[in-house]
């Protein structure tokens, strides 16, 4: 039975969504193609109709996940508060792909690194647009610095076994960004 183009596109999107969640939650190496396909409700054999290899899946998942990651339409301060929140810290599978996967990218293919680079460029540009008015160079510096602080804070808050320290990392990073960017 032949699958329609629309169904093929929907299946591919479902695989990418599932792979994104699994990779962010467990890491690239801990997730198999079979696990992704099973979680997507498909057979392992159907994988190669969408991707040439697991490396291809990784690169395309990054591009897919990073294209959906954004500041949104609200105020920058609302984005910072939401990003640096316990709910985001405690749900890596549904959280930011940059915080969940950036450290592991150095072990991936050039295509995966290119997808991460493009996603970072796009996110920095979105943050620049969301920042309060200031000079272009200052805006760029504030966007990169704020994004690096936010991603780093989530990574560190997830890494520690002390709930008070974890919350303190989030809280102080929020306050630091507010004093710099306001």
Pair (16, 60) in one structural domain: yes
pTM above 0.85, yes or no: yes
Of the three residues 46, 65, 84, the one that is the final residue of a domain is: 65
pLDDT digits (tens, 9 = 90+) for 28-53: 999 999 999 999 999 988 899 999 99
Three-state SS for 47-116 is HHHCCCCHHHHHHHHHHHHHHHCCCCCCCHHHHHHHHCCHHHHCCHHHCCHHHHHHHHHCCCCHHHHHHH
Q: In whole angstroms, how far apart are CA 45 and each of 50, 80, 119?
A: 10, 42, 30
Pair (49, 101) in one structural domain: no
pLDDT digits (tens, 9 = 90+) for 71-118: 666 788 999 999 999 999 999 999 999 999 998 999 999 999 999 999
pLDDT digits (tens, 9 = 90+) for 128-166: 988 877 777 889 999 999 999 999 999 999 999 999 999
Pair (37, 121) in one structural domain: no
Pair (89, 132) in one structural domain: yes
Domain count for the chain, please give it. Answer: 2
Pair (81, 40) in one structural domain: no
Range of the domain at 100: 70-181
Of the three residues 29, 46, 65, the one that is the final residue of a domain is: 65
The CATH code of the domain that includes 117 is 1.10.357.10
């Amino acid at each position: 039975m032949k699958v329609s183009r629309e169904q093929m596109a929907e299946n591919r999107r479902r695989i990418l969504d599932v792979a994104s969640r699994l990779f962010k939650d467990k890491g690239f190496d801990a997730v198999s193609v079979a696990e992704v396909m099973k979680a997507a409700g498909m057979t392992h054999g159907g994988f190669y109709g969408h991707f040439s290899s697991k490396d291809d899946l990784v690169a395309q998942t990054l591009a897919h996940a990073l294209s959906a990651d954004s500041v949104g339409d609200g105020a920058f301060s609302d984005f910072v508060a939401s990003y640096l929140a316990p709910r985001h810290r405690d749900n890596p599978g549904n959280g930011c792909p940059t915080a969940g996967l950036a450290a592991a990218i150095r072990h991936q293919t050039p295509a995966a690194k290119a997808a991460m680079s493009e996603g970072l460029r796009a996110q920095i540009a979105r943050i620049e647009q969301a920042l309060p008015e200031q000079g272009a160079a200052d805006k760029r510096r504030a966007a990169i610095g704020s994004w690096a602080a936010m991603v780093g804070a989530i990574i560190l808050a997830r890494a520690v076994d002390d709930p008070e320290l974890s919350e303190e990392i989030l809280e102080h990073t929020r306050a630091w960004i507010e004093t710099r960017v306001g």
